[in-house]
């Protein structure tokens, strides 16, 4: 029996946007959903209480590559699994490590059954393939496991993208063999194919023929223009299996999320809200705010008047600028609290619009306002 059940509760009559409910071993996830990235068993600067109480995150992401290198999957398993290790009692999705290995570039060597590379921490040789990735994610105990794949670089020729995609499809089958359908962990397959619609559709067909619990779209937001990213989602949207959750990996800005929902995407993750927060960039409905700018030095307003996060309810832009300029630790924490609250709340507002039947109006109003950047 599968560990994941998914139902659609509302959808846009004239498009692909939908709201759903995904039940996992550690709880219910209402979609569309944004998953804060907790790379090394922590969302940087935040506690689990921050994530549940203020941000109201229902699921977070952990990173197989980083956790296998430090502290090691065996240790996490010995500590009772990732949930107990980091004191997080809601669902966790772990990525397979494929993207991080891809980003090593010349430090890796692709072989038939995986990738050989050197650890960025101590230089030791490591091998990671479908079997190893499934074993590690089993030890971590995440609710959703991602198939091990090769992220197609950008730009890539048709042949390069095809060869990469075919390799990922072989590895996808191996992942399912090593992690059959079970009642504790769901496995998502990943669509690849670069910026070639025909390869994307071929990959989706291959992934759909394997009994995965969910469908992910990988290899986007890797340096391509946004128009190409959206074109790939446009090509896939009519063909994504409606009964399964759809996850676009590593995307993106607030407007990317709204555009993704409009193309049938249910799940998102990205380091942008956390990384940008630490660099002084904050997100609002009116676009981005660079808190470093001198114009905020005497500004008594919160980041965003309508935001109910702890940061906006208590602190002025002037104070947040002061913390950032003084390089205070609290700067990263307060900025991250706001950005993640904003992202998760945006998904909640999108869901409400779908349930209430006014998605097109919500989408158009949001995109017009956000892109006008006051």
The closest of 130, 156, 264, 141 to 210, measured between CA atoms, is 130
Distance of CA 271 to the CA centre of its chain: 8
Tokens of 255: 């407007």
Residue 99 assigned as binding residue: yes
Q: Helices H, strands E: what count in the chain?
A: 15, 16
Handedness of CA 127, 131, 132, 133 (dihedral sign): positive
Task: Find the helix or strand (DSSP H, E) in which 318 lies.
Answer: helix 317-325
Residue 234 assigned as binding residue: no
Residue 151 assigned as binding residue: no
Q: Which of 12, 54, 262, 269 is catalytic?
A: 269
Residue 287 assigned as binding residue: no
Tokens of 38: 């907790």
- Paired strand residues for 24: 27
Residue 105 assigned as binding residue: no
CB 131 within 8 A of CB 178: yes
CB 5 within 8 A of CB 22: yes
**50 assigned to active site:** no
Cα separation, 54 vs 341, whole angstroms = 7
Q: Which of 95, 256, 262, 266 is catalytic?
A: 95
Residue 129 assigned as binding residue: no
Burial, 189: exposed, middle or buried (Cβ in 10 Å; 0-12, 13-18, 19+)?
buried
Residue 54 assigned as binding residue: no
Strands 214-217 and 186-191: parallel
Write down the H helix ranges in 24-157.
48-49, 64-69, 73-78, 82-86, 98-103, 130-140
**269 assigned to active site:** yes
Kindly state the DSSP code that residue 155 receives in the 8-state scheme. S
- Paired strand residues for 214: 188
Residue 175 assigned as binding residue: no
Residue 98 assigned as binding residue: yes
Residue 95 assigned as binding residue: yes
Feature table: binding site: 95-99, 149, 192, 219, 307, 309, 312, 338
Residue stretches of the annotated binding site for substrate: 95-99, 149, 192, 219
Q: Which residues are known catalytic residues?
A: 95, 269
Q: Which residues are annotated as a binding site for Zn(2+)?
A: 307, 309, 312, 338
């Amino acid at each position: 029996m599968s560990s994941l059940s998914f139902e659609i509760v509302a959808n846009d009559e004239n498009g692909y946007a939908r709201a759903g409910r995904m039940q996992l071993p550690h709880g219910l996830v209402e979609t569309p959903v944004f998953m804060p990235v907790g790379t090394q068993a922590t969302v940087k600067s935040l506690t689990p209480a921050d994530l549940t109480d203020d941000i109201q995150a229902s699921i977070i992401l952990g990173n197989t590559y980083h956790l296998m290198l430090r502290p090691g999957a065996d240790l996490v398993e010995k500590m009772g699994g990732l949930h107990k290790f980091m004191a997080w009692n809601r669902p966790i999705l772990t990525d397979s490590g494929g993207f991080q290995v891809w980003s090593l570039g010349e430090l890796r060597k692709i072989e038939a059954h995986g990738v050989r590379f050197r650890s960025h921490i101590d230089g030791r040789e490591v091998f990671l393939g479908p079997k190893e990735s499934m074993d590690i994610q089993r030890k971590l105990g995440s609710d959703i496991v991602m198939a091990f794949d090769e992220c197609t670089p950008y730009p890539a020729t048709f042949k390069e993208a095809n060869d990469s995609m075919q390799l990922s499809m072989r590895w996808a089958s191996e992942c399912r063999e090593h992690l059959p359908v079970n009642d504790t962990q769901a496995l998502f397959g990943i669509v690849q194919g670069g910026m070639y619609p025909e390869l994307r559709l071929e990959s989706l067909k291959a992934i759909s023929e394997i009994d995965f619990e969910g469908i992910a779209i990988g290899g986007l937001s890797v340096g391509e223009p946004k128009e190409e990213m959206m074109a790939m989602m446009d090509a896939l949207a009519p063909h994504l299996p409606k009964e399964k959750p759809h996850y676009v990996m590593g995307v993106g800005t607030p407007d990317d999320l709204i555009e993704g929902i409009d193309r049938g995407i249910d799940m998102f993750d990205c380091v942008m809200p956390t990384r940008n927060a630490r660099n002084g960039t904050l997100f609002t409905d009116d676009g981005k705010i660079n808190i470093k700018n001198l114009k905020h030095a005497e500004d008594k307003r919160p980041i965003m008047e309508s935001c109910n996060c702890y940061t906006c309810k208590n602190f002025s832009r002037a104070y947040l600028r002061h913390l950032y300029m003084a390089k205070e630790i609290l700067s990263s924490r307060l900025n991250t609290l706001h950005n993640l609250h904003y992202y998760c709340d945006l998904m909640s507002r999108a869901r409400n619009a779908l349930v209430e039947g006014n998605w097109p109006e919500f989408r158009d109003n949001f995109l017009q306002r956000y892109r006008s950047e006051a």
